[in-house]
Amino acid sequence: MAVPQELPEGEGKKLLEERCVSCHSLKPVVSLRQNQGTWKKLVVKMVGLGAQLDDKEVDVATGYLAKYFGPESPAPATKPDSPEDKIAKRYIEGICSSCHDAALIRSTEATKQEWFDIVTRMNGLDAGVSQRDVDLLVDYLASKYGRK
Ligand code: HEC
Ligand code: HEC
């Protein structure tokens, strides 16, 4: 059975939780970021596949999706941090911020290799990221603060 996921509050939330979970979970929904027109096409496609929404409900669902899962929406706000993300954040807020502001990290854009080099250099300065956690931290940094 599809387990409903956490959705942000708003008009349309209930509709999605009731009508969009009979065939699949909401996972493919909450991971998407797209504009209103693209959402509308998708919802119409779902209706074609058998989702039970009338025209008005299609508009409500589309409006909700575009508002919370639009191109400008933050990366999956509904998804709780993975254990890896939590460990990475603990390093950044704890250890990395003990010498300089975390803003220095947020304002840096680097590739995975460059982040690896930075973390290695910081370890040379005594940051003390354990070998085991270097990869995890580098993955996190590269995904959040990658080169655009
Ligand atoms: C009657 C079954 C059914 C219902 C109800 C349903 N879907 Fe789907 N959904 C599908 C199927 C089947 C696919 C895979 C289609 C494909 O791959 O072309 C899918 C795929 C998706 C995808 C993946 C992207 C894509 O284009 O394939 C998203 C996102 C999605 N559905 C969202 C929704 C939303 C939002 C609703 C509620 C408005 C909904 N679905 C209701 C059957 C359903
Ligand atoms: C012991 C103090 C210390 C700790 C702990 C530390 N840093 Fe640094 N960091 C520095 C200093 C000093 C600089 C500036 C000199 C330099 O770049 O070598 C710096 C510079 C940076 C820069 C600027 C870009 C660059 O290439 O220089 C980034 C990004 C950075 N640190 C990230 C991190 C991260 C991520 C962590 C946690 C793993 C961390 N730092 C932990 C001392 C520290």
Q: What is the pTM of this model?
A: 0.52
Residues 49 and 100 in one domain: no
109-118 pLDDT tens trace: 999 999 999 9
Ligand 1: list residues with CB < 6 Å. 16, 19-20, 22-24, 28-29, 32, 42-43, 46, 49-51, 53, 61
Quote the CA–CA distance of 120 and 44 in Å, as a whole number: 50
**What pLDDT is attached to residue 74?**
77
Ligand index nearest the alpha carbon of residue 59: 1
Query: Is the CB of residue 20 less than 8 Å from the CB of residue 50?
Result: no
**Test site for ligand 1: of 14, 15, 23, most ligand atoms within 8 A of the Cβ:** 23
What residues in the chain have per-residue pLDDT under 70? 1-5, 75-80, 148
**What pLDDT is attached to residue 8?**
87
Which spans in 20-73 are helix H? 27-30, 36-49, 55-68
Pick from 43, 68, 93: which residue ends a domain? 68
117-131 pLDDT tens trace: 999 999 999 999 999
Structural domain includes residue 7: no
Ramachandran category for residue 14: left, alpha or beta (phi over 0 → left; psi -120 to 50 → alpha): alpha
Structural domain includes residue 1: no
Query: Is the CB of residue 137 less than 8 Å from the CB of residue 119?
Result: yes
Residues 97 and 139 in one domain: yes
**What pLDDT is attached to residue 6?**
73
- The number of distinct structural domains making up the chain is 2
